[in-house]
Amino acid sequence: MTSRKKDKIQEILINLCAGLTIVILVGIIGFIFWRGFPGIDTDFLTRQWEERTTYVNVGEYVEYSESDELGRVPRYGVTLEVTEEGVAIAALDSSSSLTKGLDGAGRVYELQEQDILEEVDDYSVEDAFTQWQESGGENPDAFLKEVTDALNAGEGTSHRLKVVRPGGGIIPMAVTTLYMIGLCLIIAGPIGILASIYLVEYAKPGPLLNIIHFAIQNLAGIPSIIYGLFGSLFFVQICRMQYSILAGAMTVSILLLPVIITATEEALKAIPRGYRESSIGLGATKLQTIWHVVLPGAIPGILSAVLLSIGRIVGESAALLLTAGTVASIPGALVGSGASGATLTIKAYTLMKEENDLQTACAIGIILLIIIFVLQIASRWFSSRLLKHRGQ
């Protein structure tokens, strides 16, 4: 076989592999969008995940003009509507006393649009709604008038309402994911970059440097579940952080170090040695040379390391399951009670494992892809702006 034919065969194989890679990538992303896009709506993007039931004590009301055609309750300035979930608040006047109710702990609880009204004192709106549905669900205006009359009943100045705030949204997991990205980069970024500077600029070739590189390579190959077991034992139990966002961030930060160190090290090595020698020859110290000459030139490579790290953080599940927990709520602290929180990846995993909800899991996958895409664009824009500024 001639060399020309060999080159042609190699070219065909390369093109086939490249085409197969593109087909697989498009197929995966296409499947995620196909199954998940129908599950994305305003409620999915803006609501909390867990449904929240609250008993609210409403005090003095404000008088409003009669407007029965709109379904407005004269005393409370609220418009009710019938939805699939029950009797919901469609509109609420900003001066309504429903925005100044108190929950069982005496805290101010503001009712919002889309909140479901289930009880008004002893009147069960939920039971009345069920009966109305069983009777055929006809004449919703008359049914709403019945609820309105219950809310307006009596001459007293207070009502005790049972209100359900619908869930099904990704806000808690999205916020927790962003928290996790920020914490991990704050912890692992400086450590990884400084370690890379030491390895490239200060460490002398020899057995010690070889051992360090060997350790980094092995850390990169360890399964994430091992990191999770270590984090669960050390951070959660020994350090008494409990299941918390900080314990999860510390664990994932260790997992990120090989990625950041390796990518940053290659970026630093790519800076020509002549730049360093010229800077030192002009009177700059080694630290000044690193800070003003080497690091600015390595920014694109460092940003690539950051992008790889963000992708690893967003996609991590095993380590976070054992350290950050699976609670679908926004962490109220870094450690201790109320500090646990599930990221988008963890929620997608639990949805498939426990509920077999493929549509919602794929919808979360779309949000993850969008987050990564936006962060990539932002980092590339920042990198180009920085290089343009240096060129000036």
Q: pLDDT at position 122, please?
A: 84
Neighbours of 323 (CB within 10 A): 30
Q: Which residues contact 101 (CB under 8 A, 6 or more apart)?
A: 56, 57, 58, 59, 108, 109, 110, 111, 161
pTM for the model stands at 0.82
Q: Which fold would CATH assign to domain 171-391?
A: MetI-like fold (1.10.3720)
Greatest distance between any 2 Cα atoms in the chain: 101
- Lookup result for tokens 């009669």: 66
* Spatial contact of 363 and 44, defined as CB atoms under 8 Å apart: yes
- 78-82 and 159-165 strand pairing: unpaired
Q: Tell me, which fold does domain 46-165 have in CATH?
A: Pdz3 Domain (2.30.42)
Give the model's pLDDT for residue 387.
65
Helix (H, G, I), strand (E, B) or coil at 153: coil
Give the pair of three-digit tokens for residue 77. 């300035």
Tell me if domain 46-165 and domain 171-391 are identical in fold: no
Per-residue pLDDT 10s for the chain (392 aa) are 567 777 778 888 888 988 898 999 899 889 999 999 888 888 888 888 888 888 888 875 555 544 444 444 556 778 888 888 888 888 887 777 777 788 877 788 888 888 888 888 888 888 888 888 888 878 888 888 888 877 777 655 678 888 988 888 889 999 999 999 999 999 999 999 999 988 888 888 888 888 888 888 888 888 888 999 999 999 999 988 889 999 999 999 999 999 899 888 888 888 888 888 788 887 888 888 888 888 888 887 888 888 888 888 888 888 898 898 888 888 888 887 788 888 999 998 888 888 888 899 999 999 988 888 887 787 777 777 766 665 54
Q: Name the DSSP class of 291.
A: I
Residue 121 CA to residue 56 CA, distance in Å, equals 10
Residue-range domain boundaries for the chain: 46-165, 171-391
pLDDT at 156: 55
* Strand 52-58 relative to strand 72-73, pairing: unpaired
